[in-house]
Amino acid sequence: MASYKAPLREMQFVLHEVLGLDQALAQMPRYAEVSPDLVDAVLEEGGKIAEEVLLPINRAGDEEGCQYQAGGVVVTPKGYKEAYKTFREAGWTSLAGDAEFGGQQMPKAVQVLFEEMVYATNTSFQLYCSLSMGAYQALAAHATDALKQTFLPKLVDGSWTGTMCLTEAHSGTDLGLLRSKAVPAGEGAYAITGSKIFITGGEHDLSDNIVHLVLARLPDAPEGVRGISLFLVPKFLVNADGSLGARNGIVCGAIEHKMGIKASSTCVMNLDGAIGYLVGEPNKGLAAMFTMMNAERLSIGIQGIGLAEASYQNAVLYARDRIQGRAANGAEQPEKAADPIIVHPDVRRMLLTMRAQTEAARCFAAYVGTELDKSKYHPDAAVRERSEALVALLTPVAKAFFTDYGFEATVMGMQVFGGHGYVREWGMEQFVRDARIAQIYEGTNGVQALDLAGRKVVGSKGQWAELFFAEVEDFLGRDGGVHPIFPGLRHALAQLKEATAFILGRAGANKDEIGAASADYLRLFGLTAFAYMWARMDRIAEAKLNDDMAFYGAKRSVARFYAERVLPDATALLAKIKAGAEPLMALDAELF
């Protein structure tokens, strides 16, 4: 079975040393009581529950999976119910919630690092929590006070969980096609009928009630995305005194058999006149749903980081332990029958690639998380506005780039194990299977790329991207010391700016140019953003090198590796972008 140690020192480095979280929090009254010590204590305790409660049931949960039983019952694997109870009672479902509903309102940067540990040790488990928090956010932003008072404390204390019921069989990325219907049913309620698929946590045995957020059409609603409304549909209706009432007409019809995340139930949910309550304005359901989209997408990005970190830790242990062959320049451990495989440059290439990306991603996640907090809670409107633009720009980068590289990292970690990586008992191939879905759900990575290049870059006429470029240039302008990563960052930024100008120049005449460039553009953006993170980490590491040669020296070494062995991809990406749409669009659809 795979092992895991919460990377607490790494997290402290990112939060307190690189990003200056404590100074940022001091500017936001919401976080007046969040001290550095509290942050560290939360992460330390979070690491323990991940290591001690969630990791031990991860492998068995994958083997057993969720089971569907007659009558719409879904049973989670052995141990999940008990683990959820422990998790909930220790207060972990309340980390992100607002104080007025019983939440701990921890900063987003702390949330994402906690989530990283939960994804790392049990991705399926985290999904129940992540969806609940998504439902919480949407309700907190758009529901009536009555609904909030009834439902939010329960989502915060974890006794109830939540879902997002968006997708229908014929309507995934294109939600304008959805057909579920809502008709008035008196007393401000609606009766909702339709069928939803791919509903994460749609049914299970972890909580007393499930709060479904359902997209459906009101009678006479306009066609397409302008005619979609959002409803709260509980599994059990709730009585005036808060106790559970009748079973509502929303029932799980089947669960999917999937490549991975097998302990997470993925449900077909059938609604047959289910009672629901309108959330937000009629026909404005999509806008309400997208309120919490940035937070949710960032969370799914974290899945990539968590699984990459878990895979990395196990690959390192294996590479130090497994003896096979000899170092190219002569035996390093001649007393043994062979040297550990970590002596081989190509094994190191894989490990360093995983590590360089994971540490940059962790730093970037906390950075975007803090900007997200600033966009909502900073007292200065100008700061909020700037942060909101940055978050809108960088969230698709985080979601897609974290999950793409995260998947690639789990594939590399498995490769380090050779044949043993392909055997299930070692747990390395589960990381790959569990990581794969994150590139697909919560908006496929292709959709993220289109969102970045189209809505965010072209949509803002390049202004939001300029905000980010200016920040990086400002950082580089304050350069001191010798940093091999700085020239790499300068070069990557120049290429990213050139790509941005290219897309802005082409998009007017041919909108296909946006989609044609989008995937490579997002990757180039991600590479540059990670280079920026490594530059920031390297600057701190250089300044503090003598405090801890091993820790900061390793940071400097990985920064250099990133500059010299990862960043060269930027050049190739720019060349592909500049090839334009024509090579993609020339072939007739029938000739594929």
253 contacts its own copies (rule: CB under 8 A): no
Using the minimum distance from each CB to its own copies, give the nearer residue, 43 or 199.
Answer: 199
**Binding test (CB under 8 A) with its own copies, winner from 338, 383, 476, 540:** 338
CA 86 to CA 441: how far, in whole Å? 28
The single-letter code of the amino acid at 291 is T
Write down the H helix ranges in 21-107: 21-26, 36-49, 58-64, 80-89
Q: Select from 153, 239, 248 the least CA-distant residue to 202.
A: 248
194 part of the interface to its own copies, by CB under 8 A:
no
How far apart CA 259 and CA 97 sit, in angstroms, is 32
Give the span between the Cα atoms of 71 and 387, in whole angstroms. 48
Alpha-carbon distance 493 to 532, whole Å? 9
In the window 78-107, what residues touch its own copies (CB under 8 A)?
Answer: none
- Eight-state DSSP code of residue 527: H
359 included as an active-site residue = no
Under the binding rule (CB under 8 A), the answer on residue 20 touching its own copies is no
List 264, 495, 518, 528, residue binding its own copies (CB under 8 A) = 518
Binding status of residue 433 toward its own copies by CB under 8 A: yes
Q: Restricting to residues 521-550, name those near its own copies by CB under 8 A.
A: 550
Q: Is 246 in the site for its own copies (CB under 8 A)?
A: no
Q: How far is the CB of 63 from its own copies (least distance, A)?
A: 9
Please tell me the count of residues contacting its own copies according to CB under 8 A. Answer: 98
Distance from C-alpha of 377 to C-alpha of 270, rounded to nearest angstrom: 39
How far apart, in Å, are the Cα atoms of 197 and each of 171, 287, 289?
Answer: 9, 21, 17
What is the spatial distance between Cα 13 and Cα 190, in angstroms, rounded to a whole number? 50
Nearer to its own copies, 536 or 560 (CB): 560
Given 75, 90, 440, 545, the residue binding its own copies (CB under 8 A): 440
If residue 238 lies in a helix (H) or strand (E), which one and from where to where?
A: strand 236-238
Contact 84, 158 (CB under 8 A): yes
Q: Work out how close the CB of 319 gets to its own copies at its nearest, in angstroms, rounded to a whole number.
A: 7
- Answer yes or no: are the C-beta atoms of 326 and 344 closer than 8 Å: no
What's the angle, vertex CA 315, arms to CA 312 and CA 318, rounded to 5?
150
Under the criterion CB under 8 A, does residue 450 sit at the interface with its own copies?
yes
Stretch 287-316 residues interacting with its own copies (CB under 8 A) = 316
Residues 548-587 that bind its own copies (CB under 8 A): 550, 553-554, 557-558, 560-561, 564-565, 568-573, 575-576, 579, 581, 583-587
Out of 41, 423, 501, 543, which residue is the one contacting its own copies (CB under 8 A)?
423
Site residues for its own copies, 161-180, by CB under 8 A, read 167, 170-174, 176-177
Instruction: Give the residue, chosen from 91, 253, 273, 515, that forms a contact with its own copies under the rule CB under 8 A.
Output: 515
Q: Which range in 2-10, 45-53, 385-393, 439-447 contacts its own copies by CB under 8 A?
A: 439-447
Of residues 102-161, which lie at the interface with its own copies (CB under 8 A)? Answer: none
Q: Is residue 469 part of the contact set for its own copies (CB under 8 A)?
A: no
Binding residue for its own copies, selected from 496, 519, 535, 541, defined by CB under 8 A: 519
Residue 236 bridge partners (DSSP): 247
The yes or no reply on residue 220 touching its own copies (CB under 8 A) is no
Q: Yes or no: say if 357 and 530 are a contact pair by the CB < 8 Å rule.
A: yes
Cβ pair 274, 202 in contact under 8 A: no
Residue 430's nearest CA partner among 63, 4, 5, 3 is: 63
Least CB distance to its own copies at residue 546 (A): 16
Element (H, E) at 433: helix 428-436
**Least distance between its own copies and beta carbon 353 (Å):** 10
**At closest approach, how far in Å is the CB of 219 from its own copies?**
20
Binder of its own copies out of 415, 466, 502, 504 (CB under 8 A): 415
**Candidates 116, 296, 359, 442; catalytic one:** 442
The residues annotated with a catalytic role in the active site are: 442
